[in-house]
A and B are shown apart, each in its own frame.
Chain A
Amino acid sequence: MTKPEKFTSRENSGEDTIAETWRLRQPISAKLIVFLLAISVLLGLSAHRSQMDRAFMETLGAVGSLFGWGESRVIKGAANFIGKSFPLVLEERTEVSRISDFDPNDLPMFAYLKIEETREYDTETEAWKIYSSQWLINPYGYLWRVIGKMADTIEIAIWGTILSVSLALPLAFFAAKNYSPSKILYHVARAICSFNRAVPDLISALFFVLMYGFGPIAGILALGFHTSGFLGKFFADEIENADPGPQLALSCTGASRLQVLRFAVLPQVVPQYFAYVQYILERNIRMATVLGIVGAGGIGMELKGRWDMFNFGHVSTILLAILLTVLALEHLTQWLRAKFI
């Protein structure tokens, strides 16, 4: 085999001398190999501690059992939940005898009455006793309840965002290096922002529930304080990074610092502010659905209650509602942003 002429000529002309004088690095060095080995040992140890090995085996077993090969706890658990989740519960049942002032001629819309018999074994007479009871069935009652709770949740998120923005705007003014009235205030404002970010809203909600009791107030305060940490920082960074040219031009005309902020900085940062607030609103809606679990109002409270009572049909209605709402709102905010900015 003959080498191509080009190649041989180049090799002859200079490559040997370059290889002698220029130091080339190894693409894979011993250091890198040692480093990678050390990392894999550490990850291996950690994997055992966090049960990643078990997760792998169980998942393998689950896949196996799907093909009829042995039994799996994972699949049983999933089947248990899915079996109980369907059909979704949309109706609301109330025993008529528990409703005071019940008027059978004035039923709510779509509602109807149903007589159901329940049997109970009486140990004294050693016979089945049959109870007959009348139920008022509202076919979409529970759906309406979930929608109402969802509306509560969205309202919590909206008010949380409003609180967050109204805390973040003044914070941003003090936390922007070029507009902060003093260095101390700058550091204080930055510290408040970091603190608010550092406390997870699920945890601050626990404390607000202790202070304000169960209900939406705790949720709103938790969301507002936590996200004001983000917004304060983002807003302040945006002010600091605004183009200095227009600011210089306005201060040259003799405008005061607040006026420069209003006319040279605000118009520049507004589109970014909208983007941040949109993101925070979306995040708050997702978070508000969960906050109810610690008693801070909204659909989470309903979810937790139904879960604890093993009413999986109700739970799946709630989950579906959450999913649909989050998707719909994401599209809505996207649309609003495209339209107005």
Chain B
Amino acid sequence: MFEFHSVGKVFDDGTVAVDGVDLRVRRGEFCVLLGPSGSGKSTLLGMVNGLITPTSGSVSHDGTPLVDLNIGEIRCKMGMIHQQLHLVPRLSVLGNVLSGALPAVSLWRSLLGLFPIDFMRKACNLLQEVDLDADHLYRRASTLSGGQQQRVAIARAFMLDPEIVLADEPVASLDPANSRMVLQLLKGTSRRHNASVLCSLHHLELAMEFADRVVALCKGKVIYEGPPSGLTRELLDRIYGVGLNGKSAPADAALTPRMETLTAVSA
């Protein structure tokens, strides 16, 4: 599976996004990257995908560094779910799901939009798994609600039986009920297909509820790695930077009561 070996990333403008991260994603686990905005979650995910190259250390797949592998081949082994509902708005739901299988279809077939019948069946099965039915098949993606769109994105990510699904803030633009549903479907689907999920979240409750393992990041460094129950009040304070010298920024004030209930639950 995917491993990070003391990975670091310094952007051109000098920002240190990720600083010496060691991490191993295990087969079939639901691993949550937890941290506030700017803590390096998306950068880590981008490194697995090859969108971002680390400036120090390396990411490897089954022991081989990604730089030595064909990026196209490695991308076939992973699905990706984005924060901003990156479906093609004017394409049908079926078309969007099928587009997840593009690397496995010959160029001419794909340019003509003639997908093999096996892929069509698979797309239908996946849509059923994420609770969408036959009525949705030929509707334009733009006519679906946010939650439905994200479920289509899940189906798309699983088209090529990925080893790992990378989810970059998959529920950031959804309401709480839809967030919970989408994450449930994501977890269930990954279980059935024996795929790992590396998912970045900034919602504590959701991380506590769904994660098999939490990797908490703060300013590019891993400050906690383990089961969600091990997250303590002190750790959360460190992650979100509240309670520092007894002062908390006004924006964080809203967060504090939630964290109190959380720590109560986990204790």
Judging by beta carbons under 8 Å apart, are B86 and A245 in contact? yes
Q: Which of B88, B107, B157 contacts A246 (CB 8 A)?
A: B88
**Is B89 close to A, CB under 8 A?**
yes
A252 to B160 CA separation, bound complex (whole angstroms): 13
* List of B residues within 8 angstroms of A252 by Cβ: 49, 51, 75, 80, 82
Q: Is B9 on the interface with A (CB-CB < 8 A)?
A: no
B147 within 8 A of A: no
Q: A254-B72, A259-B111 are in contact. Are A248 and B102 (CB under 8 A)?
A: no
* Bound: A256/B109 CA distance, A: 13
Against B, the Cβ 8 Å flags (1 = close, 0 = not) of A70-101 are: 00000000000000000000000000000000
Asked if A270 contacts B79 (CB within 8 A), the reply is: no
Tell me the complex Cα distance, A250–B90, Å: 15
From B90, B100, B111, A268 is in contact (CB under 8 Å) with B90
Residue from the set B82, B84, B99, B110 with the largest chain A CB neighbour count within 10 Å: B99
Whether the Cβ atoms of B86 and A263 lie closer than 8 Å is no
Contact flags (1/0) for B72-101 with A, using CB distance below 8 Å?
111110011010101111110001000110
CA distance A264 to B156 in the complex (A): 14
Cβ A259 vs Cβ B88 within 8 A: no
| Most chain B CB within a 10 A radius of its CB, from A252, A263, A270 | A252
Q: Determine if A253 and B110 form an interchain contact, defined as CB atoms under 8 angstroms apart.
A: no
A223 to B228, CA, bound (A): 68
Q: Is A327 an interface residue (CB 8 A)?
A: no
Q: How far is the CB of B14 from chain A (nearest CB, A)?
A: 25
Cβ-defined contact, A253 with B79, below 8 A: yes
User: How far does the alpha carbon of A259 sit from the alpha carbon of B105 in the complex, in Å?
Assistant: 10
> Does A249 have its Cβ within 8 Å of any Cβ on chain B?
yes
| Chain B positions within 8 Å of A245 at CB level | 82, 84, 86
Q: Tell whether A262 is near chain B: CB-to-CB under 8 Å.
A: yes
Nearest to A243 among chain B residues (CB) is: B89
**How big is chain B's contact interface, by range?**
20 to 34
Tell me what chain A mostly uses at the interface: helix, strand, loop, or mixed.
helix
Would A249 and B82 be within 8 Å (CB), given that A263-B88, A267-B88, A270-B90 are in contact? yes
Quick check: is B103 within 8 A (CB to CB) of the other chain?
Answer: yes
Q: Shortest distance in angstroms between A211's beta carbon and chain B's nearest beta carbon?
A: 35
Residue of A nearest to B99 (CB): A263
Total A-B residue pairs with C-beta atoms closer than 8 Å?
A: 78
Interface residues of A in 45-63 (CB under 8 A from B): none
Mark A289-320 against chain B: 1 for CB-CB distance below 8 A, else 0: 00000000000000000000000000000000
A259 to B159 Cα, complex, angstroms: 16
A203 within 8 A of B: no
Measured CB to CB, the closest approach of chain B to A249, in angstroms, equals 4
Residues on the A chain within 8 Å of B88, using CB: 246, 250, 263-264, 267-268
Q: Which residues of A from 216 to 275 have beta carbons under 8 Å from B?
A: 243, 245-246, 248-250, 252-256, 258-259, 262-264, 267-268, 270-271
Across the interface, do A263 and B90 meet the contact criterion of CB distance under 8 Å? no
Is the CB–CB distance between B95 and A253 below 8 Å? no
Within 8 A of A (CB), among B153-175: 153, 156-157, 159-160
Say yes or no: A253 contacts B107, CB within 8 Å: no
Distance in angstroms between the alpha carbons of A315 and B217 in the assembled complex: 82
B92's closest neighbor in chain A, by CB?
Answer: A267
Q: Is the CB of B103 within 8 A of A253?
A: yes
Does the CB pair A256–B107 fall under 8 Å? Answer: yes
Give Cα A270 to B90, complex, Å: 9
Binding site for A on B (CB under 8 A): 49, 51, 72-76, 79-80, 82, 84, 86-91, 95, 99-100, 102-103, 107, 110-111, 113, 153, 156-157, 159-160
| 28 A-B pairs in the complex with CB atoms less than 8 angstroms apart | A243-B89, A245-B82, A245-B86, A246-B89, A248-B82, A250-B88, A250-B102, A252-B49, A253-B80, A253-B100, A253-B103, A254-B73, A254-B75, A254-B102, A255-B99, A256-B72, A256-B102, A258-B107, A258-B111, A259-B103, A259-B107, A259-B110, A262-B110, A263-B95, A263-B102, A267-B91, A268-B88, A271-B90
List of 9 A-B pairs having minimum Cβ-Cβ separation, nearest first: A254-B75, A249-B86, A255-B102, A254-B103, A245-B86, A267-B90, A252-B80, A246-B88, A259-B102
